Amino acid sequence: MSSSTIPVGAKVTFRMAGRTFEGRVLEDRGPIGKGGRHLYFVFYKVGRGDWKFTEVTAEEIVDVEYNRRSLRRQREVEYIIPVQALEAYSLFAKPKHAEALASYLRSHGIHFREDPMAVQGEINFLVDKSVPWDTFVALLNEWKLQYAEQASEPAHSPDPSAG
């Protein structure tokens, strides 16, 4: 596959060790592979709750899916920043984003509890440290990308009964 067609943030399908995996390009490493091969740093799922990172050459990528992101929606969730606390990982989210984020984290086997009283107007997610920090941060960033790729709701829905 042509390396110029694989943007950072693209979902990719690649083959490794005789298996097919789906992941997301986190970084374009450039032509630093053996013989100048173009490498990409990819975050991919091996099984439920089992996420890995690897470098993949452009030639190993068999399919690319790239959805344009809404910069407005991307900026809207930039405030959600994970923190490594002593007993758990922590992040704060507004109720508007908390439900979708909670659903996403649960679907990936992440255990957490919510503290809606921690900061006025935001919900504190206290995430169990059984998941590695890098994996948790990558999953949060993946959710942010997916959120930014979702189509925004129309500002005004026409009333079908109005004639």
List domains and CATH numbers for the chain.
3-65 (2.30.30), 71-149 (3.30.70)
DSSP character for 68?
A: P
Q: Cβ(124)–Cβ(90) under 8 Å?
A: yes
Residue type, 122: E
The pTM is what? 0.61
Report CA Rg, the chain.
19
Q: Which residues have a Cβ under 8 Å from the Cβ of 133 and sit 6 or more positions away?
A: 84, 89
pLDDT by 10s per residue, the chain, length 163: 544 568 888 888 898 888 888 888 888 888 887 788 888 989 888 877 677 888 888 888 887 877 677 778 888 999 999 999 888 999 999 999 999 999 999 988 899 999 877 778 899 999 999 989 988 988 898 899 888 887 654 343 334 343 3
SS3 3: helix
Residue type, 78: E
